[in-house]
Every structure is written in structure tokens, then in C-alpha cells.
Amino acid sequence: MKTRSTNLERRNFLGWSAALGLALGLSGPAMAQDDFIVVQSTTSTQNSGLFEHILPMFEEQSGIEVRVVAVGTGQAIKNAANGDGDVLLVHAKPSEEKFVADGHGVARFDVMYNDFVIVGPASDPAGVAGTSDVVTALAKIADTEAPFASRGDDSGTHKAELRLWEQTGVDVAAASGNWYRETGSGMGATLNTGTAMGAYVMTDRATWISFGNKGDYTVAVEGDPKMFNQYGVILVSQEKHPNVKAELGQQFVDWIISEEGQAAIASYKIDGQQLFFPNAGD
């Protein structure tokens, strides 16, 4: 898409400019060899293009390089709990709060939100298109045994999906391999699998907007408050994990919840559509 291409060109330009500035002694804060942090995060923040948009702004201002490990939220939390990261930015609030309560994180802050949607083929075999009651829609998908593709990877999206299935009373574990298919993959790969097999898929809206292989798929179910999708950021505890770069990591946390960082998030759009809505100040 044009917007993503423009973002990539901008990042390449910033990288070239920074290198030239260093050579001429005219750049902003110089990046020392160890001036980098590792952010454990989700596939949605990476695949949507958000990091590609906002990180050059932070890096140019701070001189701190950000290296993102983009995996499912469950894996990101495990990685951070092992000390393999300086900052955690994910979307499963109960798990995030437990991470802090267990001593692995310093404090949790809201960063931004969007919502989940269920997408499906134009044929709409379960007859759920245009509805906003997600629990009723999922129950109809189960009743009709219409194909449903799940990430099945303990990601934030998968956790949210399972909470919704629980409210329907449907045992998706028993249906696994039948009409309910678990890909064990990230959001983009699951969408590709789902569209190929004509299955409904629950996805975060940001990934759906940026997804390029939609075919005849459209958003079938949206607008239910149960599909609210909150993201949080946590500095990993240096007390628990001595290798954590606490000072550098705190600079990133402070920036992303600051007015400047929040404005950077809000400015990211694809085809005029805003993908994430900052709410650190709330």
C-alpha cells in the first residue's frame, strides 16, 4: 500500500540521513554500540506497520535503537519473564498485570486501543454478517459448523477469542480439527489460511486494515464492547533480571505514553483509517 511504502521510504531516508550526519558530526544523539533496547511485542503492532511508523521518531530523538521481537502475546510475556527483553508491549491485560505482580515488570501503563472484528467470506455461511453481538454470532458459527480459523497460539487475540467462546458454552477444543481449525500461527498467516479455506477469522482491526489478501472477505461482526482491545507497556524489572537496560527502556516507556509518543501513534493511518487510538492519558 502507498502509505506503508511511504513509511518504509521515510525510514530508509532517516537511516541514511543519520549515517551521513554521524560522518559529518551533524547528527542528533549518536547511537553507541550498546544504545539499543529489545521490545518484546505482538505481531499486530509489527505487521500493521505501526512500529515502522513510530520507531524512527523515537530513535532519532533519543539515539536509542529499538529492536522488536514480534510474537504472540503469550510468547512475548514468556520471553520477557525469562529476561529476554527490556520492555514488554502486548495486549492481554490480565496476563500483563500478573507479569507485574510476579515481579517481572516494574509497572503497567495503558498505551492505546483498537478492537477485534470477525471477518468472513461474502457467502456468509453462518448468516452473521452485519451483526454486533459477538457471542450470538460465534454461537451461530458453531451451530452451523461453518469453518472458523483460530490462531491457537496463546496470543492476545487467541486469549480474547477463547474468552468469547467460553461465553457461548461451545467446547471448541472438542471441535478442533473439524469445523474449528487452529493454525498455531500469527495473525497474518491465520488470515491467509482462513481466506483460503473460506473460514471466519477473529482478528484485530489494525492487522485486518493492513492485510493485503482480502479477496471477497469483509468485516462480518464488529461493534461489540466485548471486542475492545487494549494494549499496555511495561518496563521489565532490572531487579529480577539484572541484564535489563532499565534506563534506556524507561526512556522508551516514557516516550510512548507522552504526548509526543501518543501523537505519533494517532498519526499512523492506512488509506485514511486510523489503526490505533492512544489512551495513556485516560
Whether residue 17 is predicted with pLDDT greater than 60 in this model: the reply is no
What distance in Å separates the CA atoms of residue 197 and residue 216, rounded to the nearest whole number? 12
Residues 103 and 178 in one domain: no
pLDDT in tens, 67-91: 999 999 999 999 999 999 999 999 9
Q: Return left, alpha or beta for 158; rule: phi > 0 is left, psi -120 to 50 is alpha, else beta.
A: alpha
Residues 150 and 51 in one domain: no
- Domains identified in the chain, total number: 2
Residues spanned by the domain of 158: 115-227
Residues 136 and 199 in one domain: yes
Work out the pLDDT band at 64, boundaries 50, 70, 90. very high
Residues 22 and 107 in one domain: yes
Whether residue 185 is predicted with pLDDT greater than 60 in this model: the reply is yes
- In the numeric block, the cell 458454552 is attached to 169
Residues 104 and 234 in one domain: yes
Residues 8 and 108 in one domain: yes
Residues 40 and 129 in one domain: no
**Quick one: pLDDT at residue 33?**
57
Residues 99 and 123 in one domain: no
Residues 123 and 252 in one domain: no
CATH value at residue 27: 3.40.190.10
Whether residue 187 is predicted with pLDDT greater than 50 in this model: the reply is yes
Q: What is the mean pLDDT of the chain?
A: 90
Look at the alpha carbons of 142, 183, 163, 46 in this order and tell me if their dihedral is positive or negative: negative
Contact 75, 122 (CB under 8 A): no
Residues 206 and 240 in one domain: no
Short-list 113, 110, 114, 115, CA closest to 280: 110
- In the numeric block, the cell 508491549 is attached to 89
**Quick one: pLDDT at residue 281?**
84
Residues 72 and 135 in one domain: no
**Quick one: pLDDT at residue 123?**
97
